[in-house]
Structure 1
Amino acid sequence: MKFSLKTLTYLSIAALSLISASAMPVNAAVTNNSHQINTNKQVINKKTHENVKFSQQLAKEGYTFRLTPGNSDQGLQKKVAGLNNPHMKRSTLKKLIKNKTNFKVYRVWEYKNGLMYKAVSKSGKYRGWVDDTTLYNKHYTDKSLQPVIKMEKKAINVLGGAPTTTKVNRERSRRYLNKALMNAQQLHGKERKIAINSVKQTKSYVKTFNVARTPTLLWQKI
């Protein structure tokens, strides 16, 4: 199975959309406008809660994400999914996409069938709920990061989308990750930091293939 960004999450997102009309939404508890991470895990019900660790991780990455053009209709919901909420005006979404407005993710809410995110623009003027198919990492196309990204994808592909695989494939994945780290260490400044952080995320991801650990550098336009 070849890896493409968030292919592994489509079934989760689809399942979430089917139940959203009748179930409590992923993001129901967040009603304030603070950009700060709430380190107290808030349980909404038995199935819905904030993934605090992932929220903190994404917030630290700053204004790294942009809206995906092909999924603008699903972007920046004014209220949480499942509450008959209107979307932001399409004209506004088009403007944000055209201007390549940068967003920070500062809340991650987890439902048993998927994840939802709350994102805010640097100005604080635009914010809303999105799923991960609506966002992409602006650094994904950076030329200097391509050798790292290439090795990360190989490390994921060779495992076939599951942590339970052959010893030979696990070893091949490990070698790809080592090569990714070597490539990352050859970079400088901000790019080096981004690359090394991504390799760490990929190492964590291939252990479980948990969607909450998907390397954010691999969030691409789809």
Structure 2
Amino acid sequence: MESKFYDIVGFENDVMEWSDYENEIPPLDESRWIRSDHPPEKGQVRTVKAAHPFHMMIGEPFWMLYTPVLSSLNGWDSHPEEIEQSSFVHCSIERVLERNDTKAWLRVKVLEVGMIKDYNQCFPVRDGSSGYLDDFEMFGEPYLFNYRNWLFISAGAEGDLGVWGLVKRLDTQYHMLVYGDWGLHKNNAFGGNILLPRHQIEGWIEEAKQNNRYETVG
């Protein structure tokens, strides 16, 4: 769970869902249960539902991407107003309440919360001119969603694997603050402050507009 390219390595929000339950929990196979709309705070102990490919041990700290409940279910491109409420949460498992081969109810301690919107100030700038966007181009032309000064970029291969990035535009510069890659056995999220090549991003924007792969709101 370390990377020389990013400051934070963790799991994407699909791997862990947050609840307001304490000791009484729904059955593991119950799909209809009340997701929490209370963001995690440092020092809390919370009940979460984790699923494959989550694989941490009791007491072992890990990072988890947190998004509020609407965007966790439907994505930032459906609820972009929740981007600036999203964070990476540093946690450790305190207790396993119930588990099977693919899912578990856990009690986790919140060790730290870092708001994504501040990562351009929290982390030193890394040069993104080489390597950081290669995976997007591997999948062909990406889809771009624009909300105010945010760009959500995604690309994939027929639902089997893909990549995405959350980019913050500051004046004429583009900083990728979150990157994700997913597949059958991985669902990862990375946090940092990657300065991307302006000409490449603006070229993608123009191509996406011409090919109906660009959407803007707000």
Q: TM-score, normalised by structure 2?
A: 0.26
- Using CA pairs under 8 Å that are at least 6 residues apart, name the structure with larger relative contact order, 1 or 2: 1
Q: TM-score, normalised by structure 1?
A: 0.26
Higher strand share: 2
